[in-house]
Structures are given as C-alpha cells and as structure tokens.
A and B are shown apart, each in its own frame.
Chain A
C-alpha cells in the first residue's frame, strides 16, 4: 500500500517535473541574489508589480548569504542549476561569468538605452562593447551623524578634515558619546567605510583611480598613502575594544545612540530609519582645505543579468526589460532608500537622508571603489589585501607607508599595466 503510494508519488513527480519545463503557459523565473535583506520588498512590491503586467510568468526571489553568494553562484552555474536571472556583483566577478559564457549579452535588450555608459561601466567588457547586466543600483559613501548629539554638543557639520577632527575631539572630550562607531574585526568595515570612503578626496577620484590602472600612479604615492595616515588618526576616536567590534556592533552602537558619527554607506539608511530613535543627518567625506572640490564614492553595486543557459530566456528578458524601466527604478529606490537608481530618468525619493546622500552627486565628483575594476583580478587579491591592511593601519599593526608598500608589492606581482 505505502509502497504503491510512494511509487505513484515518484512517478507523478517525475512526470510533473518534466511537464513544468514543457509547459510554456506558466513559467517560473528564479532570481539569484545576495540581498537577503530585500526579500520582503521583492515579494511584496517588485514581483507583484511585474506579475500583474505579465500573466503567466511567476518570479521567485532566492537570495543566499552575502558572503557565500559568489561561491554558491559559481558552483550552481557550473552545475547548470542556477536560476534564470543572476544578480550581478559589480566588475570582475560578473565579467568572469560573462567570459565563461554564463551570462548572456544584453546589448539588444529593450530598455538598456535608459542607462548611461558610466552606469553600465560595472557590467561591460573592458572594451565597452558588450553589456551583460542591467544596472540596478549604486551606493554612496559618506558619514551619518546623530543630529541630536550634534545639537546637544553644539557641533556644526564638518566640511574640512580639520573641522572633522575638531568635532571628534569635542565629542571625545565631552564624553557622553563614542565619537565614531567603527570596528576593525570584520576588516571590510575599515576598508570600505574607511579607506574607500575618505580616499577619493586624496587620490582625486576617477583621476587617481584611472592613473592607478594605467600604472601612472602607485599605491605608495602620496595620494594613496595619505588616506591611510588619516585613518590611522581615527583609532583614538573609536570605541573601547574596537579591534573586536564587528559590523553589527557598530550599527547597534550608532542606532542605540551611543555613538555620534557613523562612517557609512548609503545602504544603511533603510535599517537606520527603522532602528534609530533620534534625528539623523549625513555629510560627505570632508575635504582637505576649505574650497577644495569634493569627491564621493558612488559605487555601482547591483545589476541583474541573464543566465545564458537558463530555460526560460524569453520570459527572463521580459523581466530584465521591466528592471530597466523607470517604473522599477521608482519602486526600488523608494522601497530601499540608500540604493540609488542608475536609471537616467530621475527618481523622486521621499526619504530625506537618501535625498541628502544623492544631492552630493551634484556638487561632488563621483568615482567608484578603487580596487574593483581590473585591479582585483589576480592573486593576491587587491581588495582582500586592502581589507587586511586598512584594519592593520587602524589597529596600528602597520604604518600607512608600510601598508602602501605591501599593497603595491602584491599588485606588482601580477599586474602589468598596459603601456
């Protein structure tokens, strides 16, 4: 009896399983992603909006943990079990997928004309000829501060490096707040929220980044070592035991109102809005001298690509066109304040903190994180090394000069800039 039932089940499932592929009526698209924080927004807003207009196509958003995403995705793609739509990490990780034939070219996808070349830069081949992911969002670095604390201590928003450290000194001397919430335990905080945040001001954004790729500048040059020197000074303003402070610790310290300044990425806005009980403001990385032009890291962070070996190419392309539409940009940017749309159509955002961040695009020169394009292709990996060295500099394990030398040495060992 039971055996027959099991047999029946097996038989049914095998037939139904193949039937699912054959039936063109109801296709299910799976979106691979690392953004497990966004699950609710996808399920409640984005997917219903798409399914309402495209009957017969079901979309499943299937995120994995951020740190495991790349490894898991590569394994799934190699095994042929990955979803139809792939959320793209910026630059080389995705370029590699395209070169391996896992991602399809999207040059003739309707809707791609909505994006500028800069927006697409993170997901095009080195020669700029082929785009393989639809740009979704970028994140901007800066500092989020506790407005109530600043008012209480009578501090104005710092614009220059000197003012910034004066403000930190004042907060420290007063003693009721930890001046800055950042830890070095997770390493990437030091590199991403620290080095890549303030760095563009010193290496002059795109100018320095491109010169580094061309080999005209080195990581031992003043422009690249000076941000480390500034970072080394941060040490005195971080909380007790910052060496073992993790990223969630830093977030909690700030949202609980125990720290005054948080070196941030704009992706924090959504979480901070729901958790912090005080007013928040934001300021861009301070410039060296008053009147200098400011630089911000406006980093292309998320795109969506098409699995070249996916079963439902046509349906998946429809979804990608939807992702490229201004309608998607509007839903996305407003449900996830802090993830700024890359669509050429301007999106109206309701969140004041997000507006503050995006307003810097007008007065400052944007650049992307220096280690992401081309320079993290070899071993040792420059991005990973930058994590370790940034933490070392803040911990005092390495001096800024030694850090620069180590990074350049690692880069020299495999990177030969095209002359």
Chain B
C-alpha cells in the first residue's frame, strides 16, 4: 500500500510503460475482421468435416473429401471445374496482363495526347457491375439481335461469326475474354503507376548510354516493374479462382453448354445453395469451398515464399 512503484527508479533498466493503446486501437479492427472473415472461414472448414447422417449433423472426418475425389460423378464435376478454372486463369495471364502492360507502356509515353481520356475509357468497364457487363456482352454476341454479326457482315467476315457463347468449344474462351475486357484496367493502372515511379535519372542515364526505344523498355523499365507484375499475377490468380459472378450472369448457374464454362465458383454455388430441383448440400458445398481455399492458399504461398523473394527490388 505504502510503497507505490516508482517510475523514477534509476537502478534498473528503463522500463517502458505498457503500450496498451496499441491493443486498444487494434481491437475494433481485429473484432470486425474476426467476425466477418476469420470466423466464417473457420466455420466453413469445420462444416466440411461434417455431414448429415440420419438427419443428424455428424463428424465424418475427411469423408466428404473422399466423396468429392473418390465418387466418379463428383470427381468428374470437380476436375472439369478445376480444368476450366485453370484455362480461365491462363487466358487472363496470357491476354489480360500483357495487354495491361502494353497499354500502360503506351500511356506513359510522354508524347501521347489525350492520355487521360484513354485511361478513363479503358478503366471504365472495371467500374461497371458484372451484371451490366454480362448483359451487354450477351447482347453484343447475340446471333439474333447482336451488333457483332452485323459488324462482321459489314467487313465481309460474317462466315466467321458463330454463336460463341452457346458452343462448348468456344464458350469458355468467350467468357474469359469478356472478363479480360472488364478487368484489363486494373493491371494497366498498377503498371502505369509503377512506370511513373521510375525516376527520370534512371531513364536519362539509360539514354546517355544509348539505350532507347524498345531496348529501353525491355532492359530498363520491365525489370523495374517486375514486382508490380508479380502483384498483378497474384491478384489475377486469386480473382480467377474465386470467380463466379460473370459466368453466372452470362451462362447461368449450370454453366452450360454441357458444363463447358463451369468453374469452381459456379460448382460451389450449385452445390451449396442448390439449383431448381436440386437441393442445397451445405457439407459438400463447404468441402468444395475448402478445396478452393487450399488451392488459393497454395498459389499465394508459392508466390510469397518462392517467387517474391527472388524478385530484385531497386532502391532509388
């Protein structure tokens, strides 16, 4: 009671007061994040280990996963969705990101006029709702009312038009390209920002050494924006393996024709919520969600621990 601890104790090492305010300031965010992100995630993982047996929710261990990968039907659906998802991702990596880099490189040319207008126009689709994008493209590609058969007719290419969204061979590519059209603004913006970040001195030094034009892009600028490209790749990966909305609006929940555009997101939706006469199966839905989570986790870890460490960063 009598000897209250003194803060002016000079004999021991200087004791810092507990910085309780850090915890207090972190707490609201931590609570909100846990409630809306961590808890649902844990609940999903837990649900994937349970199934309804005789009307009772019962712990079945990895039984659901055994069904998903062991049962011929489930496995077919799953691998089909995964395969389509991988193709979806590859198309984005091969088309969206290179175009994004190219557009950013062109926009950052100092002599380009109306750069702001182009930038806005290209970025605009990203701001549109996927419902609008899906609807617009369904109309554009419609063989009956669509503007594309008409335009192709004008230049004599009508014979090359086909109902792309309705054919099993072309539907997935068509949907992927619609998605590319919508999201190409994001890599463009990120790369554009990275390009603007390159200091003038570096460029000037390169010019003094006679590195100009294309070789300047390949040898100076591209290595400097590699970290940004890495970030974009990982964003594309996460976005694509979580994708659902565009396929759902353009092709419906059955992701036809013949399951050609079925990706993990639509498979999860059908399984978890059910469709038409099909009743929702929460346990199997959670199982698919868990597998999706693991796939994305694996991809992100690969990037963080293997690739990102090898990318060299330049300090100016």
Contact = CB atoms under 8 A, between A and B. Distances in A.
Contacts of A413: 72-73
B287 to A, nearest CB: 13
Interface string B263-291: 00000001001111111110010000000
Given A245-B143, A372-B277, A376-B278, A187 B163 contact: no
A392 B258 contact: yes
B165 interface: yes
Interface string B74-99: 10000000000000000000000000
Contacts of A326: none
A205 interface: no
A241 B259 CA distance: 19
B254 interface: yes
Contact of B143 (A244, A383, A398): A244
A249 B280 contact: no
Interface residues of B, number: 35
Given A187-B252, A249-B145, A392-B257, A384 B278 contact: yes
A312 B145 CA distance: 49
B239 interface: no
B142 interface: yes
B257 A71 contact: no
B257 A395 contact: yes
B256 interface: yes
A185 B278 contact: no
Contacts of B253: 67
A384 B254 contact: yes
Interface of A: 67, 70-71, 74-75, 89, 91-93, 96, 183-188, 239-246, 249, 252-253, 371-372, 376, 379-381, 383-384, 387-388, 391-392, 395, 397-398, 410, 413
30 contacts: A70-B274, A70-B279, A89-B277, A183-B166, A184-B166, A185-B166, A187-B252, A187-B254, A187-B256, A241-B162, A241-B166, A243-B163, A243-B165, A243-B167, A244-B142, A244-B143, A244-B163, A249-B144, A249-B145, A379-B74, A380-B73, A381-B275, A383-B277, A383-B278, A384-B278, A388-B254, A391-B258, A395-B166, A395-B168, A398-B258
The 9 closest A-B pairs by CB, nearest first: A241-B143, A243-B166, A244-B163, A244-B166, A241-B163, A71-B273, A381-B278, A376-B277, A383-B277
Interface of B: 72-74, 138, 141-145, 149, 162-168, 252-254, 256-259, 270, 273-281, 284
